[in-house]
Structure 1
Amino acid sequence: MTRETTANIVWHPTTVTKEDRQRRAGHKSCVIWFTGLSGAGKSTLANAVEYELHERGLSSYVLDGDNIRHGLNRGLGFGAEDRRENIRRIGEVAKLFVDAGVITLTAFISPFQEDRALARSLVADGEFVEVYVKCSLEECERRDVKGLYQKARAGEISHFTGISSPYEEPDAPELVIDTGKLTVEESVHAVLAYLQQKGIV
């Protein structure tokens, strides 16, 4: 985008505000950002939490890493720059969902601290809930749900997090869910308990 183009773009305030939408929904909106290694259980947990939110009549939506790469982020690779752009776009989309009054659950490896910090900075304080879905590399490889670790070990996949690309653990996530020790039900309960404690739901 050129400097001239940027200068001619002006933010247009909406008539209906985020607070208006939250009042209509009957709950606050936020981003629940599930991060962790491939196979840790991010998507499983995000969808299980959303099911419970939906059953309670709350507005929610899951943005899943693989699903997003079928559309919005189709064409992005897995090198460092493309990973950053992948997370930047998701952060912006999640921000729009929060503005719409929706509890937004994102399931992305998002391996870099800097990128997760950027996503956090896009929403207001208290609207970003980082959930570190903790699971040892050994357990993730044992599960190997999609057969990706086997391919990565065979050199068929480059830039694979945990094998040929680093994963930077969160320094101070709002929640740590150890899926090597907790059941899905226990993990869902922990997330919902946090949302209730913070007055989000």
Structure 2
Amino acid sequence: MSATNIVWHTATVQKKERQQSNQHKSCILWFTGLSGSGKSTLANEVEKKLFELGAKTYTLDGDNVRHGLNQDLGFTDEDRVENIRRIAEVSKLFVDAGVIVLTAFISPFKQDRQVARDLVESSEFIEIYVKCSLEECERRDPKGLYEKARRGEIPHFTGISSPYEEPLNPELVIENDQLSVQQAVEQIIEYLKKEQLI
């Protein structure tokens, strides 16, 4: 149930002023893809490069967020929707703060990613599809999750017993089973420069 006796408080310092102070635009870099596709690794390396360039950044990682903000959520479809809704709202606050926020979440459902996109201006949401075949993700299996999912020990596992809906029109597709991490980072940084976000 939503609270009714609340009023939005307009901040004295506005987003544009924060962006001017930071000397770059703020935006959401939304990394989506299967478990094991390399989202977190790539997001962290992109953040490192942006930080070296002087940008104000923060990375929200799926597992890390589930240790705190979303520790009450499981992995049913309903919980996944709520997980992404909360992350989208937090990401919107980072954008308002003038920060480049990087999110590394499977975010398997198109509708949820659209909800996140609709929270900010069109130029402020960059969907990055970290594309990697299921076979390669299973081969990597850095956390041993696919093996458990195949044995039926993990229900609602994306790509095995729960669907992953590929992005139709992402701003970037990173073929992460064909590129080195450095090549992928360069592709993203070049996009941000081209769009005059940094």
Bin for the TM-score computed over the shorter chain: over 0.9
Q: CA separation in 2, counterparts of 1:181 and 1:193?
A: 18
Give 1:124's aligned amino acid. Answer: E
Give the unaligned 5+ runs of structure 1.
none
Q: CA separation in 2, counterparts of 1:133 and 1:38?
A: 10
* Aligned-pair identity (%): 66
1:90 to 70, 87, 90: 87
Large movers: runs of 4+ above 4 Å: none
1:171 to 165, 168, 172: 168
Give 1:62's aligned amino acid. Answer: T
Structure-2-length-normalised TM-score = 0.99
Q: Deviations over 1:147-200 (max 9, x none)?
A: 000000011000000000000000000000011100000000000000000000
Give the unaligned 5+ runs of structure 2.
none
Structure 1 residue 75: Cα displacement: 1.6
Q: Count residues in correspondence.
A: 198
Residue 50 of structure 2 corresponds to residue 53 of structure 1: yes
Residue 16 of structure 2 corresponds to residue 10 of structure 1: no
Q: Deviations over 1:96-138 (max 9, x none)?
A: 0000000000000000000000000000110000000000000
Give 1:38's aligned amino acid. Answer: S
Structure-1-length-normalised TM-score = 0.97
Q: Paired residue for 1:77?
A: 74
1:112 to 101, 109, 115: 109
Structure 1 residue 56: Cα displacement: 1.1
Give 1:136's aligned amino acid. Answer: S
Say which SS state the counterpart of residue 118 (structure 1) adopts. helix
Say which SS state the counterpart of residue 10 (structure 1) adopts. coil
